[in-house]
Amino acid sequence: MRLIRDLDILPGDCCGGAVSIGNFDGIHRGHARIVRRLVQHARRLDGPAVLFTFDPHPAALLRPEALPPPLTSIERKAELLAELGVDAVIAYPTDRALLNLDAAEFFEEILRDRLAARAVVEGYNFQFGRGRSGTVDTLRALCQQGGLSLDIVEPVEIDGQVVSSSRIRALVARGEVDLAGRMLTQPYRILGSVEHGAGRGAGLGYPTANVAGVETLLPAEGIYCGRGWSDGRSWPAAISLGANPTFGERELKIEVHLLDYRGDLYGRQLGVEFLSRLRGVERFGDVGELVAQMDRDIAACRRIVAETAATK
């Protein structure tokens, strides 16, 4: 799978296939349905399955005050899309020139001239062109005129709710990572670098990796069960996201205890995957009470991770 950031050096084997356009933030089950159909059309045409997305999000230029916090980085997005069978992800460097194209101009310049698309696959609520003036009906008419096939994909619903990036964003912000995970193709994950902390966790018997530099949405403060990922390997993890009131600290921290891990993670990237929220952040009367609760949290993490693995 290729991640391409410049259409001026677009490889020839990324043209002439099936194309889908959108932000695809989070890569949820609705996105997965679109991608499955995209891949089907590409294979029928004996061409590439290409996904065209934007970096940065168009709102960063048009409405920066309303820019939603991202669920995924471009690199993570490409990784998840590769797992679904996409051949190339084009992360277009969004600029005013692109955003000023009306729907017909966008169709001609991007889909026909640059990508030579023969099939287009989009979601039911797709909008494009300047001011999002182009609708599915606009796209249908343009495809008919240009001789491109068009497949409009119906939404995915879970528990009577349409799966969407905005709904998942709200769930994560409330700490409901288990429900968000049901809507995503993979459990919600953040990525940051491991920095030196106070070293207090090691003294309590539970050394932690202090994760900083996260650029995606953080879940609500609390204690979570999940996994830590480094160099393609994973370990069950107990995750503390928030302040440490027992020790009089107010600074928000991300502290991750990797169960059964032995080694040095300082300076390395660590992916932190959230499976379930165990409890809120609490202030304990003394260190003994804190350690007793940590023991219970670790036991719960082992059970949840084992149960999650058994259901896959």
For 69-92, the pLDDT digits (tens) are: 999 999 999 999 999 999 999 999
Sign (positive/negative) of CA torsion 258, 260, 265, 270?
Answer: negative
Which of 56, 54, 55, 74 has its CA nearest to residue 2?
74
159-198 pLDDT, tens digit per residue, is 999 999 999 999 999 999 999 999 999 999 999 999 987 6
* Domains of the chain listed by start with CATH number: 2-158 (3.40.50.620), 187-310 (2.40.30.30)
Chain position carrying tokens 């084997």: 13
What does the pLDDT profile of the chain (312 residues) look like in tens digits?
899 998 888 889 999 999 999 999 999 999 999 999 999 999 999 999 999 999 988 888 888 888 889 999 999 999 999 999 999 999 999 899 999 999 999 999 999 999 999 999 999 999 999 999 999 999 999 999 999 999 999 999 999 999 999 999 999 999 999 999 999 999 999 999 999 876 666 667 788 999 999 999 999 999 999 999 999 899 999 999 998 877 667 788 999 999 989 888 999 999 999 999 999 988 888 888 888 999 999 999 999 999 988 776
Structure tokens at 247: 């020790």
Answer yes or no: are the C-beta atoms of 283 and 245 closer than 8 Å: yes
Identity at 138, one-letter amino acid code: T
pLDDT of residue 181: 97
pLDDT of residue 229: 96
Centre a 10 Å sphere on the Cβ of residue 78 and count the other Cβ atoms it contains: 24
Partner residues linked to 294 by β-bridges: none
Partner residues linked to 121 by β-bridges: 151
Backbone angles phi, psi at 190, to 5 degrees: -115, 165
Centre a 10 Å sphere on the Cβ of residue 206 and count the other Cβ atoms it contains: 20
Distance in angstroms (rounded) separating the CA atoms of residues 211 and 209: 6
Distance in angstroms (rounded) separating the CA atoms of residues 20 and 35: 8
Strands (E) across 196-307 are located at 209-212, 222-230, 233-242, 253-258, 269-279
Answer yes or no: are the C-beta atoms of 107 and 139 closer than 8 Å: yes
Q: What residues have CB less than 8 Å from 226, skipping those under 6 apart?
A: 177, 187, 236, 237, 239, 272, 273, 274, 275, 276, 301, 305
Which of 309, 217, 305 has its CA nearest to residue 254?
217
Distance in angstroms (rounded) separating the CA atoms of residues 68 and 49: 28
> Model's pTM, two decimal places?
0.93
Quote the mean pLDDT of the chain.
93
